[in-house]
Structure 1
Amino acid sequence: MKATASHTGASHHDAPLTALSADEVRAEKHEMRRRRRIAVLLVAPLLAFIFFAFVAPIATMLFRSVYNPDVVELIPKTVAKLSTWSGEGMPDDATLTTMANELKSLAAERKAGMLAAAVNRAEPGSASLINATARKMRAIKDEDMEGSGALKLREADKRWAQPELWRSIKSVGRPYTDTYYLTALDLERNRAGDVHWRESARIYLQLYGKTLGIALTITVLCLLLGYPLAYYLAHAPRRTAGLLMVLVLLPFWTSLLVRTTAWIALLQTNGVINATLMATGIIGQPLELLYTRFATIIAMTHILLPFMILPLYSVMKGIDHSYVRAALSLGSRPWSAFVRVFFPLTLPGLSAGALLVFIISVGYYITPALVGGTDGQMISNIIAFHMQSSGNWGLAAALGTLLLALILTLYWVYDRLVGAGSIKLG
């Protein structure tokens, strides 16, 4: 009986818990949905910021690099007639008459300059032709344009009888085009549609190469200057390290424009550096330091140096010093212990600092614009020029897209060779 009772008691305690009721299950699901909604609401501002500050601008840039609606919106009827033209000889008189009428309308709406700027990118020198012709067409009465628009257009300027001009108008009239990317790569299409190197000045590939060279030089200089300082900060007494860290962070508390302007005062012809060198007799005449590639490299190295020091310092501070002491106790020389033990442990911080400095310097704009001059300009300055001055947003978008693709490619190569997982900021 006792055994039976004991067995019965054990079975009673080992029985599974009673299943939840339907109301309890619904309450649990409701609570989980409520928590998910709260989590979504908490991250919604961040997601909105990422979308409007990063995703939307990049998507717009990618779209603008292949979409060119300006001409087709200004002269839609002429573009429609040119779409059936083979490109050989001259378009028919109906096409010329349509162009004359649309130029007359554009002149009345004061939009001829927009068409002139768009066509001038494909056919240099056509801006003045289109503007002048539009003014002449506006002065002609509507009844005089009927049936004689082609003649009026030829009389306005003999260049309207050149097939090359009409081929350019047909080319820029396509709403979707790869012309911007070809231009950004110093390429162009001939009359047969084959891609070849541009016959005029090739500047963009050279600018990309110069930008990468400047960025790599700045990264190496920041590494050579920042690694010893980070090493000293990691091994210095706390009071000394704290004071030096304040000096490292001090540039972040000063305006970027102020720091760049300070370098202008230092590097200019009558600046501090030239005055000091001449006073000591080292040089006999001022050196050309400002508005050069040297000025861009020096100023940007000073500005970006903290981005190399901080990751290195945070990683070095976390390294156990007993590793190096163990290597020394086993007979290793100090330099050998540093190279074989300490330096490999700092590679994650070095990788993070190098990537930060390189990527930031590739897209830098303000400092090269102020101190670089023509020799120190980078691709970002040319992108800004097309956005602000020339109004060629399509080319600016193509240049920016290629720069983004270049950065992503370099990051992919780095990930394949070193591994992005080795990057550590602390």
Structure 2
Amino acid sequence: MRQAMRARSAGLWVGVLFGVLVSACGVDSELMAPEGEAGEEAVSTVEAAHSRNEPLPEPRPTALFGPKVAYGGGKYLVVWQDVRDGGIYGARMKPDGTLLDPEGLRLNTHPERDFGRNPNVAFNGKDFVVVWDSTDGVDGTRLAPNGAGPGPVFTVISSGEVSGDVGIACSRKLCLVTFNVDSDEGSDIAGLRIGPDGSRLDDTVIFISDSPVTGESAVAWDGKQFLVVWTDSAGGLDTPDIYGARVKENGTLLERGGFPIGAAPGMQRTPAVTWTGRRFLVVWGDMRNGTDWDVFGARVRSDGRVDDPAGLPISTEPGDQRFPGVAHHNSKSLVVWDDTRAGPHRIWGARVEEDGDVRDPTGFAISGGELGNEFRPAVAYGSDRFLVPYAASSVADEPFTPNFILGKRVKHDTRVMDTPALVFTRSTSEPAASLVEPRSE
């Protein structure tokens, strides 16, 4: 690693620019196996329980922060940071809403590096690959869509200078994992490629960014190369911008330091990115209009050209719209975000066409208010519908306060399929908690 990787400088990152670390929005892989190849369920007791109509475990607030989600092999996998042992949990769901892992699967089974945070997930054409910040680097595991696994925990990188959000996207040959590298001078975005078995393919870290303070990375794959996007202090410590850089499948970095994607007055933060089949669509939280956050986006071509250098306004309603996620199918992307236009945090969405047209300029409501505040969404597409999981609690994203992970399925025409919401955090071992809590005003 470079000479600047010495003492960790999380205090600089947290105190000067980005506050409490937050999860960057989820990466949606376009790679998905035909549903007929999903195979028999490895967890046969789950199917047996469904056939006997046994009740699911009680909903419990076991999650911390928001979820990530991917689709492959005819299943969704939702992952999150959990208060239980290991810290990283997930649950598979069929497109019809059947929850296959009612108490969640412990994904971090490492006997020594038994604490994980900030998980992310992608599908590599065969398995789900889950990676997370282990506080001493980045670890990961694999899980088959049929429930086989999780596999042994593998180490992407072991270093006390690595921290923060972890990005991941996969081709059918390998995955690119991105993370923060802290030093006395600031924080860099770096990446490593891993093989299908989790083995590391690079001898040295690929340093991507070139500004004093960077973070909040996300990644997408277009069939030939990766686009890494991140929050970059090139626009100033108090007014960061969104930057991007392309990385070839062989690890070649095409733009050292990256290029601007979302550069405007005020702060631009927490980017998410997906490949649409013709372009990348990058979305982010944007404060160019004053004191409230909005959601903006830009389309980026495979050669790095930015079609919307001034940004596409996706949601500029009253209140805050931030922490967006994005997934794509056919000619439309679904952008989702955390919205406070009516006071409490709720999940809203809008469709964006391939030509940049926003089909739903005022957005449409996705979450239904089962809890006082619903926040930090992710989104993935599969089997003719989008799945939007999100965090939910009686308080709004209180640090280190356990919350629920809920979800809604959304059709292409904006129909929301699940009332009440799907519940992913269930347990027989945690203290009981009601799903219907007093709402915060």
| Both proteins in one fold, TM over 0.5 | no
**Structure whose residues are more often strand by fraction:** 2
TM-score when scaled to structure 2? 0.20
**Structure whose residues are more often helix by fraction:** 1
The structure whose Rg is larger is: 1
TM-score when scaled to structure 1? 0.21
